[in-house]
Amino acid sequence: MTDKMIVLADLGRVKAFRVTYDMMTSKPQLEQIYDCEFLEAHGRFAERVSDQAGRFAVNGSPGASTSENHSLRVETDRRLVRMVAEKISELVQGEQYWFLAAGPEINHRILEHLPPETRAALYKNIPADLVKTPKHQIMDHFMTPAA
């Protein structure tokens, strides 16, 4: 695994590592080359919708409902997946091989938004959220042969 990139992603963050080798030990080392958090993923929906959290009008009655605005949540998730896919595409452009780990709930959605040439260079895809995994443990997930 020389000159390869590992990308870790969730809806709020993208991290990229370059795999290098230590000449003394011949063990692969990870060098973090990118780390980005999407602020939109960390805000509360109540702060974006109104100043009265969770209060929506009920079919013409003077009261209020505590139902949520689900379409806003879905659209925000959709937008974040697109942003993550665009950032990954930028990062791995020109890479011969690259590796991806993204949470199982968004992994396939990210792949759908990647250009075909980017997907073609993807060597191994792991449906797991490894963004918060310590750096020294990341390689263990990618060392097993690709399926």
> pLDDT digits over 110-128, tens only?
999 999 999 999 999 999 9
- Which of 5-14, 34-43, 56-65, 76-85 is predicted least confidently? 56-65
The pTM of this model reads 0.77
The more confidently predicted of residues 89 and 52 is: 89
Question: Would you call 6 exposed, middle or buried from its count of C-beta atoms within 10 A (0-12, 13-18, 19+)?
Answer: buried
Q: How far is CA 101 from the centre of its chain?
A: 8
Confidence at 33, pLDDT banded by 50, 70, 90: very high
% of the chain surpassing 70 pLDDT: 73
For the segment 100-108, the average pLDDT, to the nearest whole number, is 96
Asked if 142 and 116 touch (Cβ cutoff 8 Å), the reply is no
Domains of the chain as residue ranges with CATH? 4-40+70-142 (3.30.420.60)
Give the sheet arrangement for strand 28-37, strand by strand.
28-37, 13-21, 4-10, 98-102, 122-126
Dihedral-angle region of residue 44 (phi above 0 means left; psi in -120 to 50 means alpha; beta otherwise): beta
